[in-house]
């Protein structure tokens, strides 16, 4: 029996270093869903990959004495090796340094600029370097980055902005009429009450403070904001074309049935991403599911805490099926 197409994605893994079992958890979870859907008779497409641009990677590469591209080539290969070691049945491994992806991101940026949804201005705010995000004073938590808890510093730069507020009412309406869109329910309430209902600010979608990104093709001292670049992987990986000459895969599989992501990036996937899609006149994914983290003791696993466990060490001890 053919139940029709089913498209699911993981978040793309950031190539700042080797993934630990917290990152590996997501690909295995998605793999279990993909296998289950195939058993049910769905024509499954399962996409994963790597998110390779941004200032953090530029800095890490410099520390390692490598070019950013050399650095991400090594880390992306390591991530793919672990996904394969874990016996995950993905159909597509996209890298945001792939040429077709970079070209489409440039076309998308230009399209949104020509449409008037992106405009040029200046940004002044509090900046978190590891997260590559600006925040207003009111968004800070105890004066620190609300996403990672690190210190932020004041910054001002020429930048392009996206008119988020233009689409806010439409997004609120969509969320209210599609209770399955953001899961679990608690995440939906968090997005509504903390971000959408208080009012969306325009989003800064370019950077001039570093080079390692996709250049804005009509103004190349700017690189495209890493989230606008990264999120579009879900459509460029199917052969989306900003001029409408899509591959058959895109016509068959979009909109996605499921974006499976970590709870820390829910805001990007349930506010920014659907709004970018609305601006492009592209249908929204059917569901975004934010899964919790694997914890070590009472906190998140992190290299700085020295409590990281890697999948390949566990596989060596217990075998792949036991680790899965
Ligand atoms: Zn941060």
Q: How far is the CA of 125 from the centre of ligand 1 (A)?
A: 13
pLDDT for the residue 299 = 78
Domain ranges for the chain:
5-115+167-197+226-323
CA of 127 to the centre of ligand 1 (A): 8
Task: Name which residue leads in pLDDT, 135 or 12.
Answer: 12
Q: What is the mean pLDDT of the chain?
A: 94
Comparing 299 with 245, the larger pLDDT belongs to 245
Q: How far is the CA of 76 from the centre of ligand 1 (A)?
A: 23
pTM for this predicted structure: 0.91
Compute, in angstroms, the gap from residue 147 CA to the centroid of ligand 1.
5
What is residue 98's predicted lDDT score, i.e. its pLDDT? 98
- Residue 296: what pLDDT? 79
Q: Which residues surround ligand 1, an ion (CB under 5 A)?
A: 128, 131, 145, 147-148, 150
pLDDT in tens, 67-123: 999 999 999 999 999 999 999 999 999 999 999 999 999 999 999 999 999 999 998
Q: What is the pLDDT of residues 267-322, one digit of tens each?
A: 999 999 999 999 999 999 999 999 998 887 777 777 677 788 999 999 999 999 99
Question: What's the CA-to-centroid distance between 46 and ligand 1, angstroms?
Answer: 30
Peptide bond before 184: cis, by omega within 30 degrees of 0? Answer: yes
Residue 227 has pLDDT above 80, yes or no: yes
Cα of 114 vs centre of ligand 1, distance in Å, is 31
Angle separating helix axes 68-85 and 311-318, nearest 10 degrees: 30
The pair of structure tokens assigned to 118 is 């992106």
How far away, in angstroms, is 149 Cα from ligand 1 center? 6
For residue 23, what pLDDT band results from cuts at 50, 70 and 90? confident
What is the CATH class of 5-115+167-197+226-323?
Answer: alpha beta
Residue 17 Cα to ligand 1 midpoint, Å, equals 17
CA of 129 to the centre of ligand 1 (A): 7
107-157 per-position pLDDT tens digit: 999 999 999 999 999 988 898 988 878 888 888 999 999 989 999 999 888
Find the 120 Cα to ligand 1 centroid distance in Å: 24
Q: How far is CA 197 from the centre of its chain?
A: 23
Strand-pair partners of 182: 288
* pLDDT score of 53: 97
- The residues pairing with 19 across neighbouring beta strands, listed in sequence order, are none
Round to whole Å and give the CA distance between 315 and 209.
Answer: 41
pLDDT band at 169 (very low <50, low <70, confident <90, very high): very high
Which residues are CB-contacts of 149 (< 8 A; sequence separation ≥ 6)?
141
Q: How far apart are the first and last CA of the chain?
A: 28
Q: What's the CA-to-centroid distance between 134 and ligand 1, angstroms?
A: 9
Read off the pLDDT of each residue in 200-208 and give the average, rounded to a whole number.
92
Cα 151 to averaged position of ligand 1 atoms, centre (Å): 8
Backbone angles phi, psi at 249, to 5 degrees: -60, -40
Beta-sheet pairing, 118-128 with 92-95: unpaired
Q: How far is the CA of 131 from the centre of ligand 1 (A)?
A: 4
What is the Å distance from ligand 1's center to 246 Cα? 36
Cα 132–chain centre separation: 13
Mean pLDDT of 152-179: 95
Q: What is the pLDDT, as a whole number, of residue 131? A: 82
CA gap 192, 197 in Å, rounded: 6
Ligand 1 centroid distance, CA of 181 (Å) = 26
């Amino acid at each position: 029996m053919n139940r029709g197409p089913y498209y699911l994605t993981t978040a793309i893994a950031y190539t700042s270093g080797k993934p630990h079992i917290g990152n590996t958890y997501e690909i295995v979870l998605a793999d279990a869903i993909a296998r289950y859907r195939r058993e049910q008779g769905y024509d499954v497409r399962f996409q994963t990959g790597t998110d390779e641009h941004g200032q953090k990677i530029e800095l890490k590469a410099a520390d390692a004495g490598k070019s950013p591209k050399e650095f991400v080539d090594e880390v992306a290969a390591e991530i793919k090796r672990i996904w394969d070691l874990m016996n995950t049945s993905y159909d597509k491994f996209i890298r945001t340094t792939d040429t077709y992806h970079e070209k489409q991101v440039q076309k998308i940026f230009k399209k949104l600029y020509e449409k008037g949804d992106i405009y040029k201005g200046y940004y002044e705010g509090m900046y978190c370097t590891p997260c590559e995000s600006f925040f207003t004073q009111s968004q800070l938590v105890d004066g620190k980055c609300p996403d990672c808890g690190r210190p932020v510093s004041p910054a001002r730069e020429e930048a392009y902005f996206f008119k988020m507020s233009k689409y806010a009412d439409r997004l609120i309406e969509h969320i209210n009429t599609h209770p399955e869109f953001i899961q679990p329910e608690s995440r939906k309430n968090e997005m509504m009450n903390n971000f959408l209902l208080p009012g969306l600010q325009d989003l800064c979608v370019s950077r001039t403070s570093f080079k390692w990104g996709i250049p804005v093709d009509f103004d190349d001292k700017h690189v495209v904001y890493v989230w606008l670049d990264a999120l579009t992987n879900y459509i460029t990986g199917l052969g989306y074309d900003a001029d409408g000459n899509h591959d058959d895969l895109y016509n068959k599989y979009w909109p996605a049935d499921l974006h499976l992501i970590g709870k820390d990036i829910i805001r990007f996937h349930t506010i920014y991403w659907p709004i970018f899609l609305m601006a492009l006149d592209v249908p929204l994914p059917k569901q975004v599911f934010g899964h919790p983290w694997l914890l070590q003791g009472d906190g998140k696993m992190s290299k700085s805490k020295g409590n990281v466990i890697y999948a390949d060490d566990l596989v060596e001890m217990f075998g792949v099926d036991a680790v899965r």
